[in-house]
Amino acid sequence: MLQSRVVPLSAPAGSEPNDDRLLDAYSNAVSGVAESLSRSVVRIEVEHRGRGRGGSGSGLVMTHSGYLLTNSHVVAGASRLAARFADGKTLQAEVVGDDPDSDLAVVKVAASDLVPAPFGDSKKLRVGQLAIAIGNPLGFEASVTAGVVSALGRSLRAQSGRLMDDIVQTDAALNPGNSGGPLADSKGNVIGVNTAMILGAQGICFAIAINTARLVATQLIAYGKVRRSWIGIGAQNVRLPKALRERFELENETAVLVVQTEGDSPAERGGLRQGDLLLSIAGTPVGSVDDLHKALSHERLGVPTQIGVARGEELSLLTVTPIETRPRS
């Protein structure tokens, strides 16, 4: 006859329970990242002239020498900034560079002994892998949430109106105040900078991929801004007439209509006119204003660039030499 065997759930007599043994791999990963990365996460306190305290966000330490990375919308319009560290130390901060188009900013504090956050490689991310967010949501300092990488390569529109690419989607819970804080992998490497959540949705949050953030931060430290090229046109998205597409065997169904050209701009000097349909830049098809922005990177500065244009019933290639983006008024 078979006899059942009862396995006791309690620890054997004479032994004491060990919390470390009770923690599973998931808990160990999350708690380990929280312990190692919290020293590199700061609370960004913001004041606005005439309004006093304007709220707070999060940031992360980039270098021993005091450079911190955060979101542009966290520091926008600030008259005074301070960074509060995990040990309670608070230091005055100043903006080194700000880029609303990527929603990233670099601020600096007077310090030389900070613990920088280790950066990962967002190109190696996989959907479903563990994602851990650390920040200061709604003023609750050093809060940790965990989830997974929900999707890669998302696009999100910045408050400036420009489209941000290579956005990481996660279901790690984010709230106001998490902005600018790190999204990390299970090894504690930062894989993104938390930037937004969808209001009213459950578990749909976004972070700027760390590879993008690293490139932007490098330019902000070097130049105080991100260098982008500019040709001087006003434009809008339009559908291409079917007859035009068939006649010239165009793949795109849409193009960019030149609504205006600014005086003495690269576009005007290159021969672009109001009413032209912009189809390509340097041989790459352009189907929207977002495509146009993407093509006009800093690498095009001062480089004569061929632009494919449909004008009336003719196709032509014009040569335009982009210059640096105009300063914002």
- Local structure of 11: helix, strand or coil: coil
pLDDT at 329: 44
Residues in the chain: 329
Determine the straight-line distance between the first and last CA of the chain, rounded to whole angstroms: 89
Q: Out of 99, 101, 103, 291, which one is annotated catalytic? A: 103
pLDDT in tens, 110-119: 999 999 999 9
Q: Is residue 11 part of a domain?
A: no
Locate tokens 């700061």: which residue? Answer: 42
Angle value at C-alpha 282, between 279 and 285, nearest 5 degrees: 35
38: alpha, beta or left? (left if phi > 0; alpha if psi -120 to 50): alpha
Q: Are residues 202 and 238 in the same domain?
A: no
Q: Are residues 89 and 151 in the same domain?
A: yes
| Strand runs labelled E in the chain | 41-48, 52-61, 67-70, 80-84, 90-99, 104-109, 130-135, 143-157, 163-170, 182-184, 190-197, 205-209, 229-230, 233-239, 254-261, 277-281, 284-285, 305-311, 314-320, 323-324
Task: Please tell me the total count of domains within the chain.
Answer: 2
Residue/partner pairs of 311-316 with CB below 8 Å, 24 or more apart:
311/273, 311/275, 311/276, 311/277, 313/244, 313/247, 315/248, 315/279
What value does the mean pLDDT take over residues 190-196? 95
Q: Are residues 116 and 238 in the same domain?
A: no
pLDDT at 279: 95
Tokens of 114: 């900070």
**Residue ending a domain, choose from 196, 226, 256:** 226
Q: Are residues 124 and 146 in the same domain?
A: yes
pLDDT over 80 (residue 127): yes
What value does the mean pLDDT take over residues 37-43? 96
Q: Out of 40, 122, 179, 229, which one is annotated catalytic? A: 179
- Please name the amino acid found at residue 216: V
pLDDT-derived band at 8 (thresholds 50, 70, 90) equals very low
pLDDT over 60 (residue 175): yes
pTM score of the predicted model: 0.81
Q: Is residue 7 part of a domain?
A: no
pLDDT in tens, 176-190: 999 999 999 999 999
Q: Are residues 197 and 210 in the same domain?
A: yes
Q: Are residues 215 and 240 in the same domain?
A: no
Q: Are residues 100 and 242 in the same domain?
A: no
User: Per residue, what are the HEC states of 103-146?
Assistant: CEEEEEECCCCCCCCCECCHHHCCCCCEEEEEECHHHCCCEEEE
Domain housing 236: 229-324
Torsion of CA 21, 23, 28, 32, to 10 degrees: -80
What value does the mean pLDDT take over residues 144-167? 91
| Phi, psi (rounded to 5 degrees) for 310 | -105, 125
**Residue ending a domain, choose from 202, 226, 250:** 226
- Which position has the higher pLDDT, 163 or 207? 207
Name 92's Cβ contacts closer than 8 Å, sequence gap at least 6: 80, 81, 82, 109, 110
Q: Are residues 168 and 259 in the same domain?
A: no
Q: Are residues 134 and 207 in the same domain?
A: yes
Percent residues over pLDDT 70 in the chain: 91
What DSSP designation does 250 have?
A: -
Q: Is residue 12 part of a domain?
A: no
Active-site residue 103, yes or no? yes
Q: Among residues 296, 87, 71, which one has the least CA distance to residue 196?
A: 71
pLDDT over 90 (residue 4): no
Beta-carbon count within 10 A of 227 CB: 13
CA distance readout (Å), 171 to 35, 200, 264: 21, 14, 48
Tokens of 192: 């993104």
| Phi, psi (rounded to 5 degrees) for 75 | -100, -5
pLDDT over 60 (residue 3): no
pLDDT at 76: 93
Q: What is the mean pLDDT of the chain?
A: 89
Tokens of 59: 């940031």
Q: Among residues 168, 101, 111, 175, which one has the least CA distance to residue 144?
A: 175
pLDDT over 80 (residue 18): no
Q: Are residues 210 and 243 in the same domain?
A: no
Active-site residue 73, yes or no? yes
Q: Are residues 211 and 291 in the same domain?
A: no
